[in-house]
Structure 1
Amino acid sequence: MAAFKRALKDSGVLPQSINAYYRSWRVFYDWCEEATIVCMIEFPPKIQGPSNYHSSKSIVAPSRHTGRADKSDPGLEPEVHILDYKDVVLSNDEYARLSAALTEIDPVYDLIAFMMVTTGLRIGGVVQVPLGSDTRNPGWLRYPELKATGVTFQKLTYVPKGKKHLLRCSVLTESLKRLHTEYIAGHRKERLKLFAQRFPGKTPPLWLTAVGKPVEFHDIWNAFRDASSVVGRRITPHHLRHTYATYVVYHYFKAHGLKPNLAYGHDIHEALRIQLGHMDIEVTKRYIRTVIRTEADAWLPVLTPHVNQVVQENTPAHVLASVVKFFESKPAH
């Protein structure tokens, strides 16, 4: 079990997610023990007393008094209540550097990252983007066909994390344009020849490496790890999902002429719920808080007392410029 947890940590999985896996494993193996099924795995004994671990909806809040002491599980990872995603959201400049680093490794990883940051899909969702119509997406159009229709997006039906049911999300025509121009009509043509040599008779997937091998999950993770060393900060594929959602929230407020406020959480939640496939409105509020914190981080140095700082009437314009630079500077492709 310790090896499993170490592997998850090394892959950048958050403590909350590790604990979710751990609890599921423990329930299963506890059942095995009760059913007298022999297994070679051990869990630490639970400790009688107040528990420091709670549901995901209230990670750090004290447990409600139930008249009995809960047993805490020392095998759980300490969880930190996440208020926002500011530390894992990329500015446009950072994304541009990531894009360049991934391109150096293999352009296919840059295009995968681009599809993630323009859809909010996880790795598992992006690898399901079809080349053309298929069983799950019989009406899927390639970019040239889609361009002729004049529509701005089409819906992708995919199997999400957990695989309990199908979800649908919007994939922009502009995103598919870049995918088609730079990859499908470009790099992929040579890669198809290599794939045919290596896997004769097999149907090639959309994503292929430079040597004609299908792109696997670990290939993407390794590419992000190597690119992170160039960018100068650790970036995982999931950071792009948080980046996508935060930018949607930022532009929502800007388009409506509104100041970021949690009071609008329900309005934004419906759009993000459908696109990202999450039900908890608290997740949407974290994205709103990320926008608010980005602005607060720009304000704080200006407002700090007892330093050589002069707050003038035009100060808000400088703060706004800092926020706009974070979200709106144009990355070069």
Structure 2
Amino acid sequence: MYIESVAHKDGTPIPHINGMLHFPLARYLIYLRKSTMVRGGRREPTTVINNFKHLKILFDSCADMSVRFDRVTYEVHIMALKKALKENGVQPQSINAYYRSWRAFYDWCEANSIACFIEFPPKSQVQPECQSGKSIIAVHTSKGRVGKADLGLESEVSILDYKDVVLSNDEYLQLSSILSAIDPVYDYIGYMMVTTGLRIGGVVQLPLGSNARNPGWLRYPELKAKGVPFQRLIYLPKGKKRLLKCVVLTEALKRLHSEYITGSRKDRLKLFSSRYPGEIAPLWLTSNGKRVEFHDIWDAFRAASETLGRKITPHHLRHTYATFVVYHYFKAHGLKPNLAYAHDIHEALRIQLGHSDLEVTKRYIRTVIGTEADAWLPLLTPHVGQVIQESMPAHVLASVVRFFESSPDA
């Protein structure tokens, strides 16, 4: 029998098997919800729920193997589960998140004198920036301090830039055209992503007008009348821990208003109202009058990827937004792209994208630098008959501009 759960009023999952409370998992989840974290503060309900989901994967696997959780061994059961997850296409980052939750649970069991067979691999003393080839060793430590590397973790590819997932100006226009052919609503959704940096979960929260979360939200005609360049959207981000704000440009809402809200959405709204009488329609509606769901957006991007011959996901547009912001920052200030300016750029991106990791901002800067390097290398490569000239920088600049900006005849 597999573990299920019901939610306590404070959000803590209450695990049970066929109605019978499961110990010690129930006690452990209560401990997570009630205890104080090392860095201070209590865990959010979403964090506890995610821990339960990770542990459910393990406990359900135990049920499939007919083994009790306290009889699990690392060599036989954990390794088999990790292998099965990899074969099913689960990424190393996700497997490591599951693994950390499993290990934390068994560490808690040991601390509470709950006897279990399992012995996890030892943790070795390493520097936090220790790397091996293109993989980085996961280290449980604060920045700049010697920490412990968990040898049970999968190797994760160290991402230095987003060059492979950022769309050039022309590539975005191609994607836009294909999404529009599938259904214009997906083109408008993509447009709002690439002009805000929002994930799918954020862009589907864009309101048509004022609502409970955004009581001051203005439609485009009102923004135009006030002469303001943007307004801030309050939304619930990935992880659903706390509300965030991001800037939504009036110019972006102008296109949304003129082409979609006062255009094709009118007929879609009639279909929605006939299907769901009395229900308030969301902003995003499909051509048959149904609410646009997450999987609809993913399906549209998969279909567009097949046409383009290149895999493009909605998240590519978030990286594209951030990289273009960085490019235009350097251009506006007359600066050559350099990591030394990371802290200056980071503050703006941190607020808009809702992330706090400076390394992510550095990746966007490296993406801009890498675009310039790609333009330089063919000109500087020896033994191919290339003549080095002082006028070369202009050619490089033109190549970089073509990537980020519209061509004059576009």
Aligned amino acid, residue 368 of structure 2: V
- In angstroms, what is the RMSD of aligned CA positions? 3.1
Deviations 1:179-213 (A, max 9, x none): 11111111111111111122122111110111111
Deviations 1:230-264 (A, max 9, x none): 11210011110000000000000000000001111
Residue 52 of structure 1 contacts residue 72 of structure 1 at CA under 8 Å; is this kept in 2? no
Going from structure 1 to structure 2, the CA distance change for 1:160 and 1:24 (only over 3 Å counts) comes to farther
Residue 47 of structure 1: SS of its match in structure 2? coil
- In the alignment, the residues of structure 2 paired with residue 56 and residue 167 of structure 1 have an alpha-carbon distance, to the nearest angstrom, of 34
Going from structure 1 to structure 2, the CA distance change for 1:103 and 1:4 (only over 3 Å counts) comes to farther
Structure 1 position 173 matched with structure 2 position 173: no
Q: 2:382 aligns with which of 295, 299, 305?
A: 305
Going from structure 1 to structure 2, the CA distance change for 1:126 and 1:135 (only over 3 Å counts) comes to same
Structure 1 position 47 matched with structure 2 position 47: no
Structure 1 position 214 matched with structure 2 position 291: yes
Q: 1:87 aligns with which of 157, 164, 175?
A: 164
Aligned to 1:40: none
Going from structure 1 to structure 2, the CA distance change for 1:31 and 1:65 (only over 3 Å counts) comes to closer
Structure with the bigger RCO (C-alpha within 8 Å, sep 6+) is 1
Aligned amino acid, residue 283 of structure 1: V
Q: What is the 5 A alignment of 1:261-272? A: 261-272=338-349
Going from structure 1 to structure 2, the CA distance change for 1:55 and 1:213 (only over 3 Å counts) comes to farther
Question: Highest CA radius of gyration, 1 or 2?
Answer: 2
Q: 2:272 aligns with which of 195, 198, 201?
A: 195
Structure 1 position 325 matched with structure 2 position 402: yes
Going from structure 1 to structure 2, the CA distance change for 1:297 and 1:332 (only over 3 Å counts) comes to same
* Higher-strand-fraction structure: 2
Shift of 1:19: 3.9
Aligned to 1:276: 353
Residue 321 of structure 1: SS of its match in structure 2? helix
Q: 1:126 aligns with which of 203, 223, 228?
A: 203
Going from structure 1 to structure 2, the CA distance change for 1:301 and 1:45 (only over 3 Å counts) comes to farther
Going from structure 1 to structure 2, the CA distance change for 1:70 and 1:284 (only over 3 Å counts) comes to closer
Aligned amino acid, residue 128 of structure 1: Q
Going from structure 1 to structure 2, the CA distance change for 1:47 and 1:296 (only over 3 Å counts) comes to same
Going from structure 1 to structure 2, the CA distance change for 1:166 and 1:48 (only over 3 Å counts) comes to same
Going from structure 1 to structure 2, the CA distance change for 1:186 and 1:36 (only over 3 Å counts) comes to farther
- In the alignment, the residues of structure 2 paired with residue 294 and residue 249 of structure 1 have an alpha-carbon distance, to the nearest angstrom, of 12
Deviations 1:83-119 (A, max 9, x none): 1111110001110111011111110000000000000
Shift of 1:15: 3.8
Going from structure 1 to structure 2, the CA distance change for 1:77 and 1:185 (only over 3 Å counts) comes to farther
| Identical residues among aligned pairs (%) | 66
Residue 259 of structure 1: SS of its match in structure 2? coil
Residue 93 of structure 1 contacts residue 331 of structure 1 at CA under 8 Å; is this kept in 2? no
Using the size of structure 1 for normalisation, the TM-score is 0.86
Q: 2:315 aligns with which of 232, 238, 253?
A: 238
Aligned to 2:102: 26
Going from structure 1 to structure 2, the CA distance change for 1:240 and 1:8 (only over 3 Å counts) comes to farther
Deviations 1:101-139 (A, max 9, x none): 111111000000000000001111101110000111111
Residue 157 of structure 2: SS of its match in structure 1? coil
Going from structure 1 to structure 2, the CA distance change for 1:214 and 1:33 (only over 3 Å counts) comes to farther
Aligned to 2:306: 229
Task: Point out where structure 1 has 5 or more consecutive residues left out of the alignment.
Answer: 38-43
Going from structure 1 to structure 2, the CA distance change for 1:171 and 1:47 (only over 3 Å counts) comes to same
Going from structure 1 to structure 2, the CA distance change for 1:65 and 1:184 (only over 3 Å counts) comes to closer
Using the size of structure 2 for normalisation, the TM-score is 0.70
Going from structure 1 to structure 2, the CA distance change for 1:143 and 1:290 (only over 3 Å counts) comes to same
- In the alignment, the residues of structure 2 paired with residue 199 and residue 8 of structure 1 have an alpha-carbon distance, to the nearest angstrom, of 38
Structure 1 position 72 matched with structure 2 position 169: no
Going from structure 1 to structure 2, the CA distance change for 1:210 and 1:140 (only over 3 Å counts) comes to same
- In the alignment, the residues of structure 2 paired with residue 307 and residue 195 of structure 1 have an alpha-carbon distance, to the nearest angstrom, of 62
Aligned amino acid, residue 279 of structure 1: S
Aligned to 2:224: 147
Aligned amino acid, residue 26 of structure 1: W
- In the alignment, the residues of structure 2 paired with residue 257 and residue 27 of structure 1 have an alpha-carbon distance, to the nearest angstrom, of 50
Residue 196 of structure 2 contacts residue 248 of structure 2 at CA under 8 Å; is this kept in 1? yes
Q: 2:363 aligns with which of 269, 286, 300?
A: 286
Q: 2:136 aligns with which of 35, 40, 60?
A: 60
Residue 311 of structure 2: SS of its match in structure 1? coil
Structure 1 position 107 matched with structure 2 position 195: no
- In the alignment, the residues of structure 1 paired with residue 355 and residue 409 of structure 2 have an alpha-carbon distance, to the nearest angstrom, of 31
Aligned amino acid, residue 95 of structure 1: Y
- In the alignment, the residues of structure 1 paired with residue 273 and residue 287 of structure 2 have an alpha-carbon distance, to the nearest angstrom, of 13
Task: Point out where structure 2 has 5 or more consecutive residues left out of the alignment.
Answer: 1-56, 58-80, 140-144
Shift of 1:329: 2.1
Shift of 1:78: 2.8
